[in-house]
Amino acid sequence: MDDYLNLLPERSRYRPATGDGRPAAVMLMVAPDHCMLIERSRNAPNHAGQIGLPGGRAEDHDLDLWDTARRETMEEVHVHLDRNHDHLRMPATMTGSGHHVHPFLVQMPRLPAHRPDRHEVENILLYPTNYLLDLQRYKLVAQERGLVETPWNGYHIWGTTARIMFLAAHILNQH
């Protein structure tokens, strides 16, 4: 899994998770034309209005972090993926709030039917896959914190979400 970090021109852009941290998991679903991002609800207690990936904190009843990503994706965008669905577990990355986020990359022929949970998600954003794969769209804005950003359609995609997208672009460009 950490071998994927060798694809990056600078490992520091990813901010690998080290030490203790609260576990969380997110899912990056990618189809040939679009991938799915979310705009968090403006009333959300955490990350209000930010652009992110479906996901959240691990709970005691989750079997593992893949289960966390699947549960949170179902809760936030009403997409159910079977436990045996093909996925690639990417290296965990650290957030400024002390979470170790474990991303799962899921490639699919098309994005499944979806709808936002209005308590947690303001909008579901269909981000063009060709933008995801274009490495020139990602800018490193703070080397010491591994802060990466990529603007799109008036949205500011940054931090953990942009780091995960940046590494996913490297992985997908290798295949």
**Which residues of the chain carry a pLDDT beneath 70?**
1-7, 9-17, 44-49, 142-146
The answer for residues whose C-beta is within 8 angstroms of residue 113's C-beta and 6 or more apart is 78, 79
pLDDT of residue 46: 65
Taking the alpha carbons of 52, 56, 62, 64 in that order, is the dihedral positive or negative? positive
Torsion of CA 109, 134, 123, 77, to 10 degrees: 40
Question: How far is it, in rounded angstroms, from Cα 114 to Cα 94?
Answer: 28
Q: Where are the domains of the chain?
A: 2-174
Q: What is the side-by-side order of every strand in the sheet holding 155-158?
A: 139-142, 147-152, 155-158
- pLDDT one-digit tens code per residue, 27-61: 999 999 999 999 988 776 666 668 999 999 999 99
Question: How far is it, in rounded angstroms, from Cα 31 to Cα 13?
Answer: 25
User: 3-class DSSP state for residue 43?
Assistant: coil
Asked if CATH classification 3.90.79.10 holds for the domain at 2-174, the reply, yes or no, is: yes
